[in-house]
Every structure is written in structure tokens, then in C-alpha cells.
Amino acid sequence: MRAETRHQLKQDAFSRVTIGAAEKTAHWSVEHRNTLAIAVLAVAVVVAAVVGGWYYLSAQDEKASFDLSQAVRTLEAPIRPAGVPAQPDTPSYASAKERAETAGKQFQGILDKYPHTRTADMSRYFLGVTSATAGDNANAEKDFQAVVSTGNKELASVAKLALASLYGNTSRTKDAISLYRELISKPTASVSKVTAQLQLAELYQASNQPLDAKRLYEQIKKDNPSTDAGQLATQKLAELK
């Protein structure tokens, strides 16, 4: 098989995994504040559809991108209900933590084997996600910050979104608000202005700042009429009354 054909097959396999996952969670991503899982899927779509030159033709990056697609599959594996045994032919996990730890080892392996590829930057991001899911917030923060500093605008913005969520979930509200405001003022293809606005509004709502939440939801509704975001803002405003 020609090298170009092998490369295309692996790239197509990765795209199918990530885009399919994004489609499954698109509605969930609008309605929930915990952006760690959202960003896993969002960054995959960025790689597959936005950042056109992401994959090098070099053998190293080709191998790394294929390994990454396998690790993403692990993150998509189902969680078994309590008491249900594992099936030998169908990968599944007893808990989200167990799944995250398994995937984390795969992402770390990519970093160790292919440290100078662009795929390694993505693996670093995913490693942060798995660390956060496993409750290791310190390492999650470190990995997200490392991704922010890579210089890739699209990937960095998704890492900032995940980092803001991490701060919001660990009582670092001021830091989270600062990051959301930065994303609102400098949106990217991977993190739109309204996405950051919705996340910030829900943070305000969750941290007992209803007036700030109301003002932001009203702005979202005004700027995004007849859209899912506008409808969600309307629902949230009704909750605040």
C-alpha cells in the first residue's frame, strides 16, 4: 500500500472518531458548564476540520496521529453499569476515573515516543483532561497551561476553556472569570464568543452572582436571536426570575 494511502486511511479514521464523538455531544456542550469533556471533543474537531496543516507527512507524526486516534477511542469507550462484567470483545470501564487513567497512559506514551510532533501538543491537552477527570487537578492545570504556551491559537483557546472550567470547579472563581473574559474578547474558530459567554454566565449563576448572570444572558439573547444559544439564554433568564 502506498504511503500516501496509508496516511489518508489513518487520518480518515481519526476524523471519524472525533467528529462522530462531537456530534453525539453537541447538545450537551451547550447546556453544561463543565467544559473538560466538551473540550476533548472540540479540540478534536479543530484538528480534523479547522487546522488544515496539522498533520506532517513525516513518519513520526503519522504514527503519532494514529496512536492519538486510538487513545481518543479509549475516552469514548462506555462505562459499565455497576455489577455488569466486562465483555472481552468490547472495551468498557467500571468508572470514568478508570477510563481516564487508561487513556492518560496512552496519551503519555505519545508524549514520550513523539515529543517533537504537533500531535504531542494535542496529547498534552488530552492528558490534562484525563488528569482532571481522575481528580488530579494540579497536573491537569500544569498540562493545560503548557498547551496554552505552545503558540497554536486554536489549541490554546480550547485549553484556556478547559482551564477556566477547572478553576470554576475548584473555587478559583476570579481566575476562571478572567480566562472567560479573555476568550470573549479574543474568540477563535474553536472557541466562539458565545461559547465563552455561556460558560461565564453559568459560572456567575453557580457562584451566586445572579445579576451578572442575568446581564450576560440578556446580551447573549440579544446578540443571538433564533439560535440555540439565544434559546438557552432565554431559558436561563426564566430560571433567574
Domain boundaries, the chain: 3-79+95-240
Number of Cβ within 10 Å of residue 63's Cβ equals 16
Q: Which CATH architecture has domain 3-79+95-240?
A: Alpha Horseshoe (1.25)
> pLDDT-based confidence at 52, cuts 50/70/90?
very low
Nearest to 195 by CA among 33, 67, 23: 33
Assess whether pLDDT exceeds 60 at residue 27. no
Assess whether pLDDT exceeds 80 at residue 34. no
Which residues are 8's β-sheet partners?
A: none
CB burial of residue 14 (10 Å; 0-12, 13-18, 19+)? buried
Residue 154: per-residue pLDDT: 86
Question: Over the Cα atoms of the chain, what is R_g?
Answer: 19
> pLDDT-based confidence at 44, cuts 50/70/90?
low
CA–CA distance, 136 with 75 (Å, rounded to integer): 17
Residue 90 is classified by DSSP as: B
pLDDT tens for each residue of 110-157: 999 988 888 888 899 999 999 998 889 999 999 999 999 987 888 899
Assess whether pLDDT exceeds 60 at residue 236. yes
**What is the enclosing helix (H) or strand (E) of 170?**
none
Which residue in the block uniquely carries the three cell numbers 482532571? Answer: 132
CA–CA distance, 117 with 220 (Å, rounded to integer): 39
CA–CA distance, 81 with 100 (Å, rounded to integer): 17
Cell of 5: 494511502
Contacts of 167 (CB under 8 A, 6+ apart): 173, 175, 176, 179
First to last CA, the chain: 63
- The answer to whether the CB of 209 falls within 8 A of the CB of 200 is no
Residue 72: per-residue pLDDT: 87
Residue 47 is classified by DSSP as: I
Region 144-172: mean pLDDT is 91
